[in-house]
């Protein structure tokens, strides 16, 4: 597998015959062979996780599909007004929380499962060729200064409930939120995930270009047994062969 960080929460994962693209909204995507199957995933409608641009370019590859969270909806008039060919609708699969779907037919299929986000939309669990990939979307322990005790309790319980659903899975590659805007609480979601889930490699995301937050996390949590699983990202278009 080749993993490339595009921007913010967008990563691509390239297999020999297929490419998975998660939460693209900005940045330069690599060019792949036209014969490769390309699947775009969008976890929710927030503008830092989804762009209509992915739908406008649907003819760039011979085999392209889109898996969109149910909260991403549009009418025909909306698509036409924004320069999107209506034929793209035949290539879209919508999916909701706590759901699963199998894409493709024949010997090679892709299983897509979802969790409920603690914000909007879903988180994705993808299984293909014996590999399992997790992309959090906006599923995170969103803890903020000034919140009430009830808000804290609801968020903590919601996040832990969803991540606990992964406790019996083996995750090969995970993409998990590490957001510096949460200040001293920035690490709560990542730490809980790493202590709960059996994941080989974890890429921090949603860092708002402040990649030093990754170094800060690795320094502050240097004594944790999981720390070497956390990948360091220095900038856009960085690739990792896994």
The string of pLDDT tens digits covering residues 129-161 is: 999 999 999 999 999 999 999 999 999 999 999
Average pLDDT score over residue span 164-187 = 98
Asked if 163 and 195 count as a contact pair (C-beta separation under 8 A), the reply is no
The CA–CA distances, whole Å, from 171 to 2, 41, 108, 197, 200 equal 16, 18, 19, 8, 6
Read off the tokens for 139.
């599923």
Alpha carbon of 214 to those of 36, 55, 120, 173, 209: distances in Å? 33, 32, 24, 17, 11
Closest by CA position to 37, among listed 85, 96, 118, 104: 104
Band of the pLDDT at 55, cuts 50, 70, 90?
very high
The residues, ordered by sequence, that sit 6+ positions from 154 with a Cβ below 8 Å of its Cβ are: none
Domain that holds residue 119: 2-241
Q: What does pLDDT average to over the chain? A: 96
pLDDT (0 to 100) of residue 34: 87
- Whichever domain contains 52, its CATH number is 3.60.15.10
pLDDT one-digit tens code per residue, 108-117:
899 999 999 9
Domain count, the chain: 1
């Amino acid at each position: 597998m080749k993993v490339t960080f595009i921007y913010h929460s967008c990563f691509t994962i390239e297999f020999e015959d297929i490419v998975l693209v998660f939460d693209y909204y900005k940045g330069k995507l690599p060019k792949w062979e036209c014969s490769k199957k390309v699947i775009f995933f969008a976890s929710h409608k927030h503008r830092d996780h989804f762009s209509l641009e992915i739908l406008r370019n649907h003819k760039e590859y011979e085999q392209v599909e889109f898996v969109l969270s149910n909260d991403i909806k549009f009418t025909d008039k909306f698509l036409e007004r924004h320069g999107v060919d209506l034929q793209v609708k035949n290539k879209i699969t919508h999916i909701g929380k706590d759901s699963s779907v199998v894409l493709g037919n024949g010997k090679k299929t892709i299983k897509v499962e979802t969790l409920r986000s603690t914000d909007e939309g879903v988180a994705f669990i993808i299984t293909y060729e014996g590999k399992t990939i997790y992309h959090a979307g906006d599923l995170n322990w969103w803890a903020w200064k000034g919140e009430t005790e009830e808000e804290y309790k609801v968020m903590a319980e919601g996040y832990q409930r969803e991540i606990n659903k992964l406790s019996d899975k083996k995750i090969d590659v995970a993409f998990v939120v590490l957001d510096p805007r949460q200040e001293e609480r920035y690490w709560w979601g990542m730490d809980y995930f790493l202590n709960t889930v059996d994941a080989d490699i974890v890429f921090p995301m949603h860092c708002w270009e402040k990649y030093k937050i990754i170094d800060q996390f690795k320094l502050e949590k240097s004594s944790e047994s999981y720390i070497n699983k956390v990948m360091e990202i220095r900038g856009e278009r960085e690739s990792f062969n896994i």
